[in-house]
Structure 1
Amino acid sequence: MRFNKIFLLLAALLPLMVSCVEAEAPDVSVDPNKMSFNYEGGSFSATITTNGDWIAESTASDIVITPSSGSQDGVVRIEVPASRIKETEAAVINFTTSKTVRDTLKTKKAKMVITREAMPFVELSANEGYVSPDGGGVRVSLSANHDWSYTATNPINGLTVKPAEGTFNAEVTISLPENTTGAARSSEVVFSLKQYPDVKAKYTIRQNAK
Protein backbone atom coordinates (compact mmCIF):
# COMPACT_ATOMS: atom_id res chain seq x y z
CA MET A 1 0.00 0.00 0.00
CA ARG A 2 2.82 2.36 0.95
CA PHE A 3 4.61 1.51 -2.30
CA ASN A 4 1.51 2.39 -4.27
CA LYS A 5 1.34 5.80 -2.58
CA ILE A 6 4.96 6.50 -3.39
CA PHE A 7 4.40 5.43 -6.99
CA LEU A 8 1.37 7.69 -7.32
CA LEU A 9 3.32 10.59 -5.81
CA LEU A 10 6.18 10.10 -8.28
CA ALA A 11 3.70 9.85 -11.13
CA ALA A 12 2.17 13.15 -10.06
CA LEU A 13 5.58 14.83 -9.83
CA LEU A 14 6.88 13.51 -13.15
CA PRO A 15 5.25 16.19 -15.35
CA LEU A 16 6.68 18.87 -13.07
CA MET A 17 10.13 17.31 -13.28
CA VAL A 18 9.94 17.16 -17.07
CA SER A 19 8.74 20.75 -17.14
CA CYS A 20 11.74 21.84 -15.07
CA VAL A 21 14.11 20.03 -17.40
CA GLU A 22 12.48 21.66 -20.43
CA ALA A 23 12.73 25.08 -18.75
CA GLU A 24 16.47 24.60 -18.49
CA ALA A 25 16.90 24.16 -22.25
CA PRO A 26 19.15 26.83 -23.80
CA ASP A 27 17.42 29.85 -25.26
CA VAL A 28 18.73 32.98 -26.99
CA SER A 29 17.40 35.93 -28.95
CA VAL A 30 18.93 39.13 -30.31
CA ASP A 31 17.37 42.53 -30.98
CA PRO A 32 17.57 43.90 -33.61
CA ASN A 33 17.94 40.85 -35.79
CA LYS A 34 18.63 42.72 -39.02
CA MET A 35 20.33 45.97 -40.06
CA SER A 36 21.10 47.68 -43.37
CA PHE A 37 23.94 50.09 -44.21
CA ASN A 38 25.11 52.01 -47.23
CA TYR A 39 28.63 51.29 -48.46
CA GLU A 40 30.15 53.50 -45.74
CA GLY A 41 29.05 51.11 -42.99
CA GLY A 42 28.38 52.16 -39.39
CA SER A 43 27.92 50.83 -35.88
CA PHE A 44 25.06 49.95 -33.53
CA SER A 45 24.22 48.15 -30.29
CA ALA A 46 22.25 44.93 -29.97
CA THR A 47 20.68 43.29 -26.93
CA ILE A 48 21.17 39.59 -26.26
CA THR A 49 18.65 37.75 -24.12
CA THR A 50 19.76 34.27 -23.08
CA ASN A 51 19.90 31.82 -20.19
CA GLY A 52 23.40 30.50 -20.73
CA ASP A 53 26.88 31.21 -22.03
CA TRP A 54 26.96 32.58 -25.56
CA ILE A 55 29.39 33.31 -28.38
CA ALA A 56 28.96 35.54 -31.48
CA GLU A 57 30.48 34.70 -34.86
CA SER A 58 30.18 36.62 -38.14
CA THR A 59 30.42 35.31 -41.69
CA ALA A 60 32.15 38.61 -42.61
CA SER A 61 35.64 38.73 -41.13
CA ASP A 62 35.80 42.54 -41.06
CA ILE A 63 32.74 43.00 -38.82
CA VAL A 64 33.80 43.59 -35.20
CA ILE A 65 31.61 42.39 -32.29
CA THR A 66 32.42 43.64 -28.78
CA PRO A 67 32.25 41.58 -26.65
CA SER A 68 32.11 38.46 -28.81
CA SER A 69 31.14 36.15 -25.95
CA GLY A 70 29.52 36.33 -22.54
CA SER A 71 27.19 34.82 -19.99
CA GLN A 72 23.48 35.55 -19.56
CA ASP A 73 21.89 38.72 -20.94
CA GLY A 74 24.02 41.51 -22.32
CA VAL A 75 24.60 44.28 -24.87
CA VAL A 76 27.12 44.06 -27.71
CA ARG A 77 28.53 46.75 -29.98
CA ILE A 78 28.76 45.86 -33.66
CA GLU A 79 31.00 47.83 -36.03
CA VAL A 80 30.50 47.48 -39.78
CA PRO A 81 33.35 49.03 -41.82
CA ALA A 82 33.01 50.54 -45.28
CA SER A 83 32.51 48.06 -48.09
CA ARG A 84 35.49 47.16 -50.27
CA ILE A 85 33.66 44.97 -52.76
CA LYS A 86 31.56 45.78 -55.83
CA GLU A 87 28.51 43.76 -54.82
CA THR A 88 25.91 44.16 -52.09
CA GLU A 89 26.91 41.93 -49.19
CA ALA A 90 24.71 40.12 -46.66
CA ALA A 91 26.62 38.99 -43.57
CA VAL A 92 25.19 36.74 -40.87
CA ILE A 93 26.08 36.94 -37.18
CA ASN A 94 25.20 33.79 -35.26
CA PHE A 95 24.68 34.11 -31.52
CA THR A 96 25.02 30.61 -30.08
CA THR A 97 24.17 29.74 -26.49
CA SER A 98 24.99 26.44 -24.83
CA LYS A 99 23.81 24.69 -21.70
CA THR A 100 24.14 21.24 -20.19
CA VAL A 101 20.77 19.53 -19.84
CA ARG A 102 20.64 16.04 -18.35
CA ASP A 103 24.38 15.67 -18.81
CA THR A 104 24.04 16.59 -22.49
CA LEU A 105 25.41 19.82 -23.96
CA LYS A 106 22.66 21.50 -25.95
CA THR A 107 22.91 24.62 -28.10
CA LYS A 108 20.59 27.14 -29.71
CA LYS A 109 21.26 29.93 -32.20
CA ALA A 110 19.83 33.36 -32.93
CA LYS A 111 20.64 34.93 -36.28
CA MET A 112 21.26 38.56 -37.22
CA VAL A 113 21.53 39.62 -40.88
CA ILE A 114 23.56 42.71 -41.81
CA THR A 115 23.23 44.06 -45.35
CA ARG A 116 25.91 46.38 -46.71
CA GLU A 117 25.66 48.15 -50.07
CA ALA A 118 28.36 47.65 -52.66
CA MET A 119 31.25 50.07 -52.88
CA PRO A 120 30.36 52.68 -55.55
CA PHE A 121 32.59 52.51 -58.59
CA VAL A 122 33.07 53.69 -62.16
CA GLU A 123 35.75 52.12 -64.32
CA LEU A 124 36.97 52.42 -67.92
CA SER A 125 38.48 49.77 -70.15
CA ALA A 126 41.28 52.22 -71.06
CA ASN A 127 42.51 55.55 -69.72
CA GLU A 128 43.76 57.21 -72.92
CA GLY A 129 43.50 57.03 -76.68
CA TYR A 130 44.40 58.83 -79.92
CA VAL A 131 42.17 60.25 -82.62
CA SER A 132 43.35 60.83 -86.19
CA PRO A 133 44.33 64.42 -87.08
CA ASP A 134 41.49 64.23 -89.60
CA GLY A 135 39.04 63.69 -86.76
CA GLY A 136 37.23 60.63 -85.48
CA GLY A 137 36.36 58.84 -82.30
CA VAL A 138 37.51 56.24 -79.79
CA ARG A 139 35.28 53.72 -78.10
CA VAL A 140 35.68 52.82 -74.44
CA SER A 141 33.73 50.47 -72.17
CA LEU A 142 32.41 52.03 -68.98
CA SER A 143 31.35 49.99 -65.94
CA ALA A 144 29.50 51.57 -63.01
CA ASN A 145 26.99 50.66 -60.33
CA HIS A 146 25.28 54.07 -60.11
CA ASP A 147 24.10 56.79 -62.49
CA TRP A 148 26.97 58.71 -64.06
CA SER A 149 27.75 61.74 -66.22
CA TYR A 150 30.87 63.38 -67.64
CA THR A 151 32.75 66.66 -67.59
CA ALA A 152 35.77 67.69 -69.68
CA THR A 153 38.93 69.37 -68.45
CA ASN A 154 40.42 71.76 -71.03
CA PRO A 155 37.66 70.79 -73.48
CA ILE A 156 38.48 70.90 -77.17
CA ASN A 157 36.00 72.74 -79.34
CA GLY A 158 33.81 70.13 -81.01
CA LEU A 159 34.53 67.33 -78.51
CA THR A 160 31.54 65.01 -78.07
CA VAL A 161 30.83 62.17 -75.65
CA LYS A 162 27.98 59.78 -76.47
CA PRO A 163 26.14 58.89 -74.36
CA ALA A 164 26.83 61.88 -72.14
CA GLU A 165 25.29 60.18 -69.11
CA GLY A 166 23.88 56.83 -68.21
CA THR A 167 22.85 54.19 -65.73
CA PHE A 168 25.35 51.46 -64.98
CA ASN A 169 27.37 50.05 -67.90
CA ALA A 170 27.75 51.62 -71.33
CA GLU A 171 29.85 51.72 -74.49
CA VAL A 172 30.99 55.33 -74.77
CA THR A 173 32.30 57.04 -77.91
CA ILE A 174 34.54 60.09 -77.49
CA SER A 175 35.04 62.09 -80.69
CA LEU A 176 37.07 65.06 -81.92
CA PRO A 177 36.75 67.05 -85.15
CA GLU A 178 39.62 67.65 -87.57
CA ASN A 179 42.63 69.28 -85.93
CA THR A 180 43.32 72.49 -87.84
CA THR A 181 45.28 74.19 -85.05
CA GLY A 182 48.70 73.12 -86.29
CA ALA A 183 49.59 71.66 -82.88
CA ALA A 184 48.93 68.47 -80.98
CA ARG A 185 46.15 68.74 -78.44
CA SER A 186 44.44 66.73 -75.71
CA SER A 187 41.53 66.86 -73.33
CA GLU A 188 40.70 64.96 -70.16
CA VAL A 189 37.20 63.49 -69.94
CA VAL A 190 36.08 62.75 -66.38
CA PHE A 191 33.27 60.28 -65.69
CA SER A 192 31.82 60.56 -62.18
CA LEU A 193 28.89 59.12 -60.27
CA LYS A 194 25.99 61.50 -59.73
CA GLN A 195 25.30 60.26 -56.21
CA TYR A 196 28.99 60.05 -55.30
CA PRO A 197 30.77 62.78 -57.31
CA ASP A 198 34.14 61.99 -55.74
CA VAL A 199 34.05 58.54 -57.34
CA LYS A 200 35.41 59.06 -60.86
CA ALA A 201 37.42 57.67 -63.76
CA LYS A 202 39.48 59.74 -66.20
CA TYR A 203 40.11 59.32 -69.91
CA THR A 204 42.62 61.44 -71.86
CA ILE A 205 41.90 61.83 -75.55
CA ARG A 206 44.82 62.99 -77.72
CA GLN A 207 45.10 64.25 -81.27
CA ASN A 208 48.24 65.05 -83.24
CA ALA A 209 48.55 67.97 -85.62
CA LYS A 210 48.00 67.46 -89.35
Structure 2
Amino acid sequence: MQSPAIDVSAWERVRLQYRRWLTIEDGFYDQATITANGQQAWANFAGPDDFDASNHHIDHEWRFHDVEVTPFVSPTGEVQLAYNHFSDGGLEFGGWTVDEVCLVGHGQGIDPPDPPDPPDPGNDCGDGIVGQFEQCDDGNLENGDGCSAGCLWENDGSDDVGTDTDTGDDAGLWEPGSRGCGCTSDAPGSPERGAL
Protein backbone atom coordinates (compact mmCIF):
# COMPACT_ATOMS: atom_id res chain seq x y z
CA MET A 1 0.00 0.00 0.00
CA GLN A 2 1.64 3.26 -1.13
CA SER A 3 0.73 6.93 -0.85
CA PRO A 4 1.27 9.58 -3.49
CA ALA A 5 4.13 12.03 -2.90
CA ILE A 6 2.99 14.44 -0.18
CA ASP A 7 4.31 18.00 0.15
CA VAL A 8 5.50 18.50 3.74
CA SER A 9 7.85 21.42 3.02
CA ALA A 10 5.94 23.69 5.42
CA TRP A 11 7.20 21.77 8.47
CA GLU A 12 10.57 21.25 10.11
CA ARG A 13 9.64 17.91 11.71
CA VAL A 14 7.22 15.35 10.25
CA ARG A 15 5.74 12.26 11.92
CA LEU A 16 3.52 9.52 10.56
CA GLN A 17 0.67 8.68 12.94
CA TYR A 18 -1.89 5.96 12.37
CA ARG A 19 -3.75 3.09 14.00
CA ARG A 20 -2.84 -0.49 13.20
CA TRP A 21 -3.84 -4.05 13.91
CA LEU A 22 -0.74 -5.94 12.86
CA THR A 23 -0.12 -9.66 13.20
CA ILE A 24 3.05 -11.04 11.67
CA GLU A 25 5.65 -13.75 12.30
CA ASP A 26 9.07 -12.81 13.72
CA GLY A 27 11.01 -10.55 11.35
CA PHE A 28 13.58 -13.29 10.75
CA TYR A 29 10.92 -14.95 8.57
CA ASP A 30 8.30 -12.29 7.74
CA GLN A 31 8.78 -8.54 7.56
CA ALA A 32 6.30 -5.73 8.05
CA THR A 33 7.92 -2.41 7.15
CA ILE A 34 7.02 1.21 6.66
CA THR A 35 9.12 3.04 4.08
CA ALA A 36 9.38 6.76 3.46
CA ASN A 37 10.76 7.72 0.04
CA GLY A 38 11.94 4.14 -0.37
CA GLN A 39 13.92 4.03 2.88
CA GLN A 40 12.93 1.94 5.87
CA ALA A 41 11.38 4.06 8.63
CA TRP A 42 10.08 1.15 10.76
CA ALA A 43 10.17 -2.68 10.78
CA ASN A 44 8.92 -5.45 13.07
CA PHE A 45 11.46 -7.09 15.38
CA ALA A 46 13.67 -9.76 13.83
CA GLY A 47 15.32 -12.48 15.89
CA PRO A 48 19.04 -13.07 15.30
CA ASP A 49 18.62 -16.60 13.88
CA ASP A 50 15.99 -19.28 13.22
CA PHE A 51 16.53 -20.81 16.68
CA ASP A 52 15.57 -17.51 18.35
CA ALA A 53 12.97 -16.31 15.81
CA SER A 54 9.88 -16.59 17.99
CA ASN A 55 9.10 -12.94 18.77
CA HIS A 56 5.97 -12.64 16.66
CA HIS A 57 4.26 -9.25 16.48
CA ILE A 58 0.65 -9.78 17.56
CA ASP A 59 -1.60 -6.77 18.17
CA HIS A 60 -4.76 -7.81 20.06
CA GLU A 61 -6.54 -4.51 19.40
CA TRP A 62 -6.25 -1.34 17.37
CA ARG A 63 -2.94 0.28 18.40
CA PHE A 64 -1.79 3.87 17.90
CA HIS A 65 1.64 4.06 16.23
CA ASP A 66 3.86 7.13 15.76
CA VAL A 67 6.87 7.04 13.40
CA GLU A 68 9.43 9.82 12.81
CA VAL A 69 9.82 10.38 9.04
CA THR A 70 11.74 13.69 9.01
CA PRO A 71 15.09 12.07 8.05
CA PHE A 72 13.49 10.66 4.90
CA VAL A 73 11.89 13.85 3.52
CA SER A 74 13.30 14.71 0.09
CA PRO A 75 15.27 17.95 -0.48
CA THR A 76 12.19 19.35 -2.24
CA GLY A 77 10.06 18.71 0.87
CA GLU A 78 8.08 15.67 -0.27
CA VAL A 79 7.55 12.26 1.28
CA GLN A 80 5.96 9.12 -0.15
CA LEU A 81 4.95 6.43 2.34
CA ALA A 82 4.42 2.69 1.87
CA TYR A 83 3.29 -0.17 4.10
CA ASN A 84 5.02 -3.39 3.03
CA HIS A 85 4.59 -7.05 3.99
CA PHE A 86 6.98 -9.81 2.99
CA SER A 87 6.30 -13.42 3.98
CA ASP A 88 8.21 -16.68 3.57
CA GLY A 89 4.93 -18.58 3.18
CA GLY A 90 5.57 -20.81 6.21
CA LEU A 91 3.70 -19.71 9.34
CA GLU A 92 1.30 -16.96 8.27
CA PHE A 93 -0.59 -14.35 10.27
CA GLY A 94 -3.02 -11.61 9.26
CA GLY A 95 -0.53 -8.91 8.21
CA TRP A 96 -1.27 -5.18 8.10
CA THR A 97 -4.59 -3.55 8.91
CA VAL A 98 -4.28 0.25 9.05
CA ASP A 99 -6.65 3.14 9.67
CA GLU A 100 -6.61 6.88 10.42
CA VAL A 101 -3.30 7.49 8.61
CA CYS A 102 -2.02 11.06 8.84
CA LEU A 103 1.17 13.09 8.73
CA VAL A 104 1.73 15.52 11.58
CA GLY A 105 4.15 18.39 11.10
CA HIS A 106 5.49 21.06 13.42
CA GLY A 107 8.04 23.85 13.23
CA GLN A 108 8.87 25.99 10.21
CA GLY A 109 9.97 23.91 7.25
CA ILE A 110 12.20 24.50 4.29
CA ASP A 111 11.46 27.34 1.93
CA PRO A 112 10.86 25.95 -1.52
CA PRO A 113 13.38 27.24 -4.04
CA ASP A 114 12.37 30.34 -5.94
CA PRO A 115 11.39 29.66 -9.53
CA PRO A 116 13.97 30.80 -12.06
CA ASP A 117 13.55 34.28 -13.48
CA PRO A 118 11.83 34.27 -16.84
CA PRO A 119 14.06 35.22 -19.76
CA ASP A 120 14.09 38.92 -20.56
CA PRO A 121 12.20 39.01 -23.86
CA GLY A 122 13.76 41.13 -26.57
CA ASN A 123 17.14 41.75 -24.96
CA ASP A 124 18.78 38.80 -26.66
CA CYS A 125 20.83 40.26 -29.47
CA GLY A 126 20.12 38.30 -32.63
CA ASP A 127 16.59 37.21 -31.71
CA GLY A 128 14.97 39.60 -34.19
CA ILE A 129 13.26 41.68 -31.48
CA VAL A 130 14.57 45.15 -30.60
CA GLY A 131 14.92 45.15 -26.82
CA GLN A 132 15.26 48.15 -24.53
CA PHE A 133 19.10 47.97 -24.60
CA GLU A 134 19.37 47.45 -28.39
CA GLN A 135 19.38 50.01 -31.20
CA CYS A 136 18.51 47.36 -33.79
CA ASP A 137 18.12 43.60 -34.09
CA ASP A 138 18.11 42.04 -37.53
CA GLY A 139 17.84 38.46 -36.34
CA ASN A 140 21.52 37.54 -36.73
CA LEU A 141 24.90 38.26 -35.15
CA GLU A 142 26.71 39.36 -38.32
CA ASN A 143 28.51 42.64 -38.82
CA GLY A 144 28.32 44.58 -42.09
CA ASP A 145 24.58 44.36 -42.65
CA GLY A 146 23.67 47.64 -40.97
CA CYS A 147 23.05 46.16 -37.52
CA SER A 148 26.19 45.03 -35.71
CA ALA A 149 26.71 41.76 -33.84
CA GLY A 150 26.17 43.87 -30.70
CA CYS A 151 22.78 45.13 -31.99
CA LEU A 152 24.01 48.68 -32.57
CA TRP A 153 23.47 50.68 -35.76
CA GLU A 154 26.39 50.37 -38.18
CA ASN A 155 27.63 53.32 -40.24
CA ASP A 156 27.79 52.66 -43.99
CA GLY A 157 30.79 55.00 -44.31
CA SER A 158 29.05 58.00 -45.86
CA ASP A 159 28.56 59.93 -42.60
CA ASP A 160 31.12 62.59 -41.80
CA VAL A 161 31.47 62.44 -38.04
CA GLY A 162 31.71 65.87 -36.43
CA THR A 163 30.26 67.84 -39.34
CA ASP A 164 26.61 68.82 -39.35
CA THR A 165 25.47 67.95 -42.84
CA ASP A 166 21.82 67.34 -42.04
CA THR A 167 19.98 68.01 -45.27
CA GLY A 168 16.86 66.24 -44.14
CA ASP A 169 17.24 63.30 -46.51
CA ASP A 170 19.15 61.05 -44.05
CA ALA A 171 20.97 59.41 -46.97
CA GLY A 172 23.86 58.28 -44.76
CA LEU A 173 21.74 56.37 -42.23
CA TRP A 174 21.02 52.70 -42.49
CA GLU A 175 17.37 51.95 -43.10
CA PRO A 176 16.28 48.33 -42.69
CA GLY A 177 14.08 48.36 -45.79
CA SER A 178 16.82 49.79 -48.02
CA ARG A 179 19.19 46.86 -47.45
CA GLY A 180 16.91 44.10 -48.65
CA CYS A 181 16.12 43.07 -45.10
CA GLY A 182 12.38 43.43 -45.47
CA CYS A 183 12.02 44.07 -41.79
CA THR A 184 10.84 47.67 -41.67
CA SER A 185 8.43 48.71 -39.00
CA ASP A 186 6.90 51.76 -40.66
CA ALA A 187 3.32 50.61 -40.25
CA PRO A 188 1.48 52.32 -37.40
CA GLY A 189 1.28 50.07 -34.36
CA SER A 190 3.67 47.46 -35.76
CA PRO A 191 6.31 46.21 -33.34
CA GLU A 192 9.97 46.89 -33.93
CA ARG A 193 11.18 43.57 -35.29
CA GLY A 194 14.09 42.36 -37.32
CA ALA A 195 14.20 39.56 -39.83
CA LEU A 196 13.24 36.21 -38.39
Q: Taking structure 2 as the reference length, what is the TM-score of the superposition? A: 0.30
Determine which structure has greater relative contact order: mean sequence separation of CA pairs < 8 Å that are 6+ residues apart, divided by chain length. 2
Q: Taking structure 1 as the reference length, what is the TM-score of the superposition? A: 0.28
- Which structure's residues are more often helix, by fraction? 1
- Which structure's residues are more often strand, by fraction? 1
Larger Rg: 2
